[in-house]
Amino acid sequence: MSPLFRARNAAALLALPVLLTACSAAGTEQAASGPPKLGGTLRLGISSAPDCIDPQQAATNASINVGRQLVDSLTDQDPKTGEIKPWLAEKWEISADSTAFTFHLRAGATFSDGSPVDAAAVKTSFDAIKALGTKAQLGYGYLAAYKASTVVDPQTVRLDFSAPSAQFLQASSTMSLGLLAPAAFKKTPEQRCQGNGLIGSGPFVFESLKQNQEIVLAKRKGYAWGSSLFKHQGEAYLDKIDYKIVPEPGVRTGSLASGQLDAATDIQPVDEPQFAGNGFSENIRPNPGVVFNLHANTTRGVLADEKVRQAVLKGVDRAEVVNTVLTPSYKAATSILGSATPLVSDLSQQLAYDQKGAAALLDGDGWVPGPDGIRVKNGQPLSASVVFSPVFNQNRSVLELIQQQLRKIGFDLRIEQHTTAETTQIQLAGNYDFLWYNVTRADPDILRGQFSTKAGNRSKLTPGNPLDVALDAQSSTVDTAKRKPSADEVQKLIIDHAYAVPVFELTQVVALSSKAHAVDFEASSRLQLFDAWLS
């Protein structure tokens, strides 16, 4: 799975009031239904078959929504504030240069095979994730500079990095760095993908998998070391979670409406209205991380001209995209980062629709309207292609509307649909004008992975540019006051130079029957089902 599309098809250090967590429409119904009840099986419809249910290898949304329930993490992240909170680690210290992280583990936590969650197990798990290489599709990036772990004492472990890695504290809260027991690594990565050897310390354990049909998890008996952010302590309320794989959106919503499912993920914009009331409710949360955007290859064709890129930035009417193709659950982009991302800047003024301003830029740059309305300069048409994969149901509709909007300024956007695998190869080869994608992560360091010349460098910039400097600066400290100016500068540079054209924020929409409660999101907008219950 391409890192391009981990967020949908497929996944913060700071307490900031700007973070947004959409409210569940279920809130009042849940309050009215009394205290949570024990027992029952939650029948949850998901939109695709997980490619791998090993949390350390998973990358798709479906995989993450399963794997998150199987493992605990060293820390947790508050969805409302972005602040990092205790989980398996009670406390931690970070070196001044953000290259060493020392975690003090809580006592009494065990894996499902009875072995202790101790410093040696943490070391084994992190060394194993590093050894997975690119198979650890998300963890690979988080541990790019990871050198080694040291067992200080049975309950204390130090992780060392070869370069400043402030992002690692937030990464330690993710499922991708969730812990597996030492015995799990006696199985091959391929076996663990199928559930064989998935020995975690989480509130649920793997029970069964029927390929392309369902995955069943069962309550972990005796679980008593939940995150400090969980609404209750002790064991999970549910006896089981039965993930039903239902790719067709209409079938999924129909199954929920008819009572064959208790909840369903990935509710499409066209289906949202039927679950607002009528005994149903929706839980909605925007994804943090990089919003859906047109990411420009600045070395290709007309996009090598910064004024052209800036004109495209001005020529996209984001409000029209949301109002026409999507629903009020979705938000127009106000930065390259989504509104639920710690340290997001509000650049909505710079992203305002300005057709006249776009035309003026192109006029001044020598692009003149041709007979078909598309501008021309020195015999070259003002045209570029966008490569996309239909990992989000509305992608083509959004791009077709943007295509219409850009024709108004004389720009010809050619739409190229590819499979996810093809898109990955095109991206790796650099054979694109624009890439259309989003990436989810609740930390601004996600931008380093896409824009740094030392990482993804999707804009094909020259090393040592000002954006590189700002990206390195924001990754060098966990200090909020020191990190925020650098994160602000990164976002500003990306918009000022139109290295990418942000359009809208991906949103997770989960619909619930009147029986299902507290089917909630963690900070990365993935499902957290420890507190979920059925009435």
C-alpha torsion 186→58→142→440, nearest 10: -170
- Amino acid, single-letter form, for residue 268: Q
DSSP states of 362-405: HHHTT-EE-TTS-EEETTEESEEEEEE---STTHHHHHHHHHHH
Residue 487's nearest CA partner among 172, 23, 170 is 170
Global pTM value:
0.89
Residue 37: per-residue pLDDT: 96
Task: Using a pLDDT cut of 70, give the percent of the chain over it.
Answer: 94
Q: Identify which of 126, 222, 102, 133 has the alpha carbon closest to the alpha carbon of residue 182.
A: 126
Quick: pLDDT tens for 452-486.
Answer: 999 999 999 999 999 999 999 999 999 888 999 99
pLDDT of residue 33: 65
pLDDT over threshold 70, residue 22: no
Question: Distance of CA 205 to CAs 44, 123, 304, 527, Å?
Answer: 16, 22, 52, 16
Closest to 203 (Cα-Cα) out of 303, 107, 87: 87
Average pLDDT over every residue of 388-393: 88
Instruction: Please check the confidence at residue 2 and state whether its pLDDT lies above 90.
Output: no
Q: Return the C-alpha torsion angle 442, 447, 450, 456, nearest 10.
A: -100
Per-residue pLDDT, averaged over 178-198, amounts to: 97
Residue 26 — pLDDT band, cuts 50, 70, 90? Answer: very low
What are the structure tokens assigned to 326, written together? Answer: 């999507």
Question: For residue 10, is pLDDT > 90?
Answer: no
Average pLDDT over residues 199-215: 97
Instruction: Say if residue 527's pLDDT is above 70.
Output: yes
Of the pLDDT bands very low, low, confident and very high (cuts 50, 70, 90), residue 28 is very low
d(CA 385, CA 431): 11
Whole-number Å distance between alpha carbons of 112 and 110 = 7
436 and 294 Cβ atoms separated by less than 8 Å: yes
Q: Which amino acid is at 244?
A: K
Distances (CA, A) of 190 to 11, 130, 322: 20, 16, 40
What value does the mean pLDDT take over residues 286-291? 97
Confidence of residue 68 (pLDDT cuts 50, 70, 90): very high
Helices (H), 152-229: 167-171, 189-193
Q: Which residue has the higher pLDDT, 146 or 393?
A: 146
Helix (H) or strand (E) holding 92: strand 89-94
Q: At 13, is the pLDDT very low, low, confident or very high (cuts 50, 70, 90)?
A: very low
Question: In a 3-state reduction of DSSP, which class is residue 267?
Answer: coil
Query: How high is the mean pLDDT of the chain?
Result: 92
Residue 168 phi/psi, 5-degree rounding, is -65, -30
pLDDT attached to residue 61: 85
